[in-house]
A and B are shown apart, each in its own frame.
Chain A
Amino acid sequence: MKKILIFLLLFLGTLTQALARDSVIVPIGNSATLGPTNAPVVMFEFLDFQ
């Protein structure tokens, strides 16, 4: 019973994190952009060149 509860808590924690990540808001700021300013879809890429 205890193991099931721990599993459920871990599962719910992971699910909560995943749902929270679905609504991430990233400010564009002065970052370099490619594509039209009013594009309906904006894709941010966090990149390491090396």
Chain B
Amino acid sequence: MQEYAGRLKLVLKHYPYRYRDYSSIAAQATEAAKVQGKFWEMHDLMMEHKKLDRDSLIGYAQELGLDVPRFQRELDGKVYLPIVDADVALAKKLNFFQTPTFVINGQVLVGERPIEKFRELIDKALAKVEQQ
């Protein structure tokens, strides 16, 4: 992101695998953190610690200084499940069946790829935009 500062925007869409224990609750937790202005901070903590059970997520909320009772209430009430489900429906509509899947200015990149591949696609997209 820093390499392309000012020229690249990242948009995160949820695509929790339905048979994994904590995929959906983790996605919902980021949305619960988002309404309190800490989406990316929660995202980073999850990526760093890898523990995604309910207690760990509440621990991250505490660490980030969120309103924990609200976070907990919304998580337990599955308030943000419809948002996660809408992203899943979109992914299925686009025939995406694997995570991570990336779309860079319309170009699809499936799976974890070397950074060079991302540079190649981003540079191509930038060149195309500059030509227009």
List residues of chain A with CB under 8 Å of any chain B CB: 21-37, 39-50
Q: Which of B7, B9, B14, B106 contacts A34 (CB 8 A)?
A: B9
Task: Please tell me if the beta carbons of A49 and B13 are within 8 angstroms of each other in the complex.
Answer: no
**Contact flag A49-B52 (CB < 8 Å), given A35-B9, A41-B122, A44-B13:** yes
Please, how many angstroms separate the alpha-carbon atoms of A31 and B61 in the complex?
20
Count of B residues near A, CB < 8 Å? 53
Residues of B within 8 A of A42 (CB): 8-9, 11, 104-105
Question: Using a CB–CB distance below 8 Å, which chain B residues touch chain A?
Answer: 1, 4-17, 20-23, 26-27, 30, 34, 39-40, 43, 46-47, 52, 83, 86-87, 90-91, 94-96, 99-108, 118, 122, 125-126, 129-130
A40:B23 contact, CB within 8 angstroms: no
Q: Which of A26, A41, A46, A48 has the most CB of B within 10 A?
A: A46
Give chain A residues whose Cβ lies under 8 Å from the Cβ of B46.
49
Which residues from chain A contact B5 at a C-beta distance below 8 Å? 35
Residue of A nearest to B12 (CB): A32
Contact (A40, B12) CB under 8 Å given A21-B108, A47-B99: no
Q: Evaluate contact between A46 and B39: CB separation under 8 angstroms.
A: no
**Residue of B at shortest CB range from A39?**
B9
**What residues of A have a CB within 8 angstroms of the CB of B91 in the complex?**
46
Residues of chain A within 8 A of B95, CB atoms compared: 21
Q: CB-nearest residue of chain B relative to A47?
A: B100
Q: In whole angstroms, how far apart are the Cα atoms of A50 and B7 in the complex?
A: 29
CB-based contact B13/A47 at 8 Å: yes
CA–CA, A28 and B107, complex, Å: 15
